[in-house]
Amino acid sequence: MKFSIERAALLKAVAQAQSVVERRNTIPILANVLIEAEGSDVHFRATDLDIEVVDKAPCMVERAGSTTVSAVTLHEIVRKLPDGAMVTLSDDGAAGRLTVQAGRSNFNLATLPKEDFPVMASSEYASNFSAPAPVLRRLFDKSKFAISTEETRYYLTGVYMHVAEGDEGRALRCVATDGHRLARIDAALPEGAEEMPGVIVPRKTVGELRKLLDDDEMQIAVSVSETKIRFATPQITLTSKVIDGTFPDYSRVIPAGNTRRLEVDAAEFAKAVDRVATVSSERSRAVKLSLDEDRLILSVNAPDSGAAEEELAVAYADERLEIGFNAKYLLEIASQVDRENAVFMFNSSGDPTLMREGNDLSAVYVVMPMRV
């Protein structure tokens, strides 16, 4: 195998591949990337047995062939090469070495036989559709903060993507929750997605998928089956197993009868919460919201480190209310708001609180209160 490729194209392809590779693994071949050169393209394939990413880049192939080499080492080498360099990769199968040449630099890397590389079994996808990158980016970006980190409740360690009845007909919906907060984001249902089975997309997959979604013009081809999900652009294909579990009935958690309405400038609110939370003790980080007519007082009282208080002008016309929240949760939810105003709907100091962005009903957040 021998081919030449521009550094920028090589770096982009290898960066995506090496981020899938697990740093600590007991199977040496999983630390490698499979390089396959043929025609006028080279494919870089990496896997951790749960996720597989295949990255295609244009190159000049002198000799077709394939080999596997350490993903992290190759990425580090390419990253340190000068901009605009032409990189030549050649493989001597008998010696088990891959040579990387660029300008006056020359590297010799150990390879492992390509036959040992695990390729994910192809499967039949029940549903195939395409969605614009900005739509998928919004669905996952706004919901991923609520993914649980508790491995014991493994079915909450991902984003539940499914078809649901939204406020404006059927919608493609992403939901994530960790029991303390919940995010529910809707988007218009793409053509062909009507029969899509509901799947839980793992946290790592959500992180890797994000790298495919930066180009606003891009259409992403999505394929879903009961056990796998695949996202593809012309250059990159990301295939992942989905979490084998049942996502709980989240609709029971979303309060419908909250009547006390607070409207506040989201950016100002987030900054104020951040300021008063500075003095709170790390473990509880509780912030108290005291609501009165058209004013909100944020306060923190931490006996060991001090106290803080800040007043904000808000729109609130109901009776007085005092309610406490974890500052981190409030900040994360407030930072999801793209519009100017966040609307909080309260019931009482012990009930879950609902938040949405202005009058937009396609994004709904729920946060549980704390005792303060």
Reported confidence tier of residue 284, pLDDT bands at 50, 70, 90: low
Interval 330-336 mean pLDDT: 91
- Count how many domains the chain has: 3
Q: Are residues 277 and 361 in the same domain?
A: yes
- The answer, yes or no, to whether residue 303 has pLDDT greater than 90, is no
183 in the Ramachandran plot: left (φ > 0), alpha (ψ -120 to 50) or beta? Answer: beta
User: What is the spatial distance between Cα 297 and Cα 291, in angstroms, rounded to a whole number?
Assistant: 7
Q: Are residues 106 and 12 in the same domain?
A: yes
Element containing residue 92 per DSSP (H, E): strand 86-92
* Residue span of the structural domain in which 300 resides: 256-367
Q: Are residues 294 and 242 in the same domain?
A: no
Q: Are residues 111 and 66 in the same domain?
A: yes
Q: Are residues 176 and 112 in the same domain?
A: no
CA neighbor of 176 nearest in space, from 351, 336, 349: 336
Neighbours of 293 (CB within 10 A): 11
Structure tokens at 31: 């630390």
Q: Are residues 6 and 79 in the same domain?
A: yes
Q: Are residues 88 and 154 in the same domain?
A: no
Last residue of a domain, one of 252, 276, 306: 252
| 43 backbone dihedrals φ, ψ, rounded to 5° | -110, 135
Q: Are residues 19 and 43 in the same domain?
A: yes
| 82 backbone dihedrals φ, ψ, rounded to 5° | -70, 150
Q: Are residues 131 and 112 in the same domain?
A: no
Reported confidence tier of residue 77, pLDDT bands at 50, 70, 90: very high
Query: Does residue 122 sit within a domain?
Result: no
- The reported pLDDT for the residue numbered 283 is 64
Last residue of a domain, one of 234, 252, 270: 252
- The reported pLDDT for the residue numbered 100 is 96
Interval 63-91 mean pLDDT: 95
Structure tokens at 257: 């009868």
Strand partners, 92: 97
Q: What is the pLDDT of residues 206-229, one digit of tens each?
A: 999 999 999 899 999 999 999 999
Tell me, what CATH number does 154's domain have?
Answer: 3.10.150.10
Query: Does residue 121 sit within a domain?
Result: no
Last residue of a domain, one of 252, 267, 282: 252
Q: Are residues 192 and 162 in the same domain?
A: yes
- The answer, yes or no, to whether residue 359 has pLDDT greater than 90, is no
Q: Are residues 240 and 267 in the same domain?
A: no
| Least confident span in 42-56, 211-225, 270-284 | 270-284
- The answer, yes or no, to whether residue 95 has pLDDT greater than 90, is no
Q: What is the pLDDT of residues 150-187, one digit of tens each?
A: 999 999 999 999 999 988 889 999 999 999 999 999 99
- The reported pLDDT for the residue numbered 372 is 75
Cβ-contact 227, 123 below 8 angstroms: yes
Query: Does residue 215 sit within a domain?
Result: yes
User: What is the spatial distance between Cα 107 and Cα 84, in angstroms, rounded to a whole number?
Assistant: 18
CA neighbor of 352 nearest in space, from 248, 267, 273, 260: 260
- The answer, yes or no, to whether residue 25 has pLDDT greater than 70, is yes
- The reported pLDDT for the residue numbered 325 is 95
